[in-house]
Structure 1
Amino acid sequence: MPRVPQSAGRSDQLEIPSHRVRWGLRDMAFAGLTTLGLVGAGALLLAGGALLWPRLSALPLPANILVPAVFACEALLIIPAWLWGPRKYGGGWASLGLRACSVGKSLALLFLGFSAILLVNAAWDAARQRLGWPGQPDYLPVFGGGLQGLLVALLLGGAVAPAAEEIFFRGYIFAGLRERWGTGAAVVLSSILFSLAHATPGVFPPLFIIGAVFCLIYEHTDSLWPCVALHGAMNGLAFAVAYLSERFPDLVRGGM
Structure 2
Amino acid sequence: MINERGWDMESLIRLLLGVILCMCAAVLIHTVVVTPEMAQTSAGRFLGFVINTGCLHVGILFVVHRFLKQQSIGWSAGFGLNKNGWGRAIVRGMVIGLLIAPLVMALQAGCHWLFTQAEVKAPRQEVVTTLVQTVQWDQRIYFGFIAIVIAPVVEEIMFRGVMYPALKYRGYGAAAVWGSAIIFAMMHGNLLSLIPLTLLGLLLIALYEWSGNLLTPIFAHSTFNAVNFALITFGQQWLKEIPGAS
Q: Pick the TM interval, shorter chain.
A: 0.7 to 0.9
Change in CA separation of 1:165 and 1:46 when aligned onto 2, cut-off 3 Å = same
Question: Quick check: 175-184 or 41-50, which moved more?
Answer: 175-184
Partner of 1:90: 72
* Runs of 4+ with >6 A deviation: 252-255
What amino acid maps onto 1:140 in structure 2?
L
The 1-side partners of 2:159 and 2:79 are apart by 11
Change in CA separation of 1:46 and 1:136 when aligned onto 2, cut-off 3 Å = closer
Question: Quick check: 156-165 or 24-33, which moved more?
Answer: 24-33
Decide whether the 8 Å contact of 1:101 with 1:223 is kept in 2: yes
Q: Name stretches of at least 5 consecutive residues in structure 1 with no aligned partner.
A: 1-16, 55-59
Partner of 1:19: 3
The 2-side partners of 1:114 and 1:180 are apart by 33
Equivalences for 1:3-82 in 2 at 5 Å? 19-25=3-9, 27-51=11-35, 62-63=43-44, 64-75=46-57, 76-82=59-65
Partner of 2:212: 222
How far off its partner does 1:71 sit?
Answer: 2.6
Question: Quick check: 181-190 or 105-114, which moved more?
Answer: 105-114
Decide whether the 8 Å contact of 2:2 with 2:211 is kept in 1: no
Q: Name stretches of at least 5 consecutive residues in structure 2 with no aligned partner.
A: none
Instruction: Give per-residue Cα distances to partners, 1:93-138, cap 9 Å, x unaligned.
Output: 1243151243557645654454244213212322323323424442
Partner of 2:200: 210
Q: RMSD between aligned alpha carbons?
A: 3.2
The 2-side partners of 1:253 and 1:130 are apart by 29
Equivalences for 1:1-256 in 2 at 5 Å? 19-25=3-9, 27-51=11-35, 62-63=43-44, 64-75=46-57, 76-83=59-66, 85-97=67-79, 99-102=81-84, 103-104=87-88, 107-108=91-92, 110-112=94-96, 114-132=98-116, 133-134=121-122, 135-137=124-126, 138=128, 139-141=130-132, 144-181=134-171, 183-251=173-241
- Structure of greater relative contact order (alpha carbons < 8 Å, 6+ residues apart): 2
Change in CA separation of 1:92 and 1:191 when aligned onto 2, cut-off 3 Å = same
Helix, strand or coil for the counterpart of 2:179?
A: helix
Helix, strand or coil for the counterpart of 2:170?
A: helix
TM-score, structure 2 normalization: 0.79
How far off its partner does 1:193 sit?
Answer: 1.8
Decide whether the 8 Å contact of 2:164 with 2:176 is kept in 1: yes
TM-score, structure 1 normalization: 0.76
Percentage identity across aligned positions?
Answer: 18
Q: Which of 1 and 2 has greater Rg?
A: 1
Helix, strand or coil for the counterpart of 2:169?
A: helix
Change in CA separation of 1:49 and 1:35 when aligned onto 2, cut-off 3 Å = same
The 2-side partners of 1:161 and 1:42 are apart by 16
The 1-side partners of 2:152 and 2:213 are apart by 14
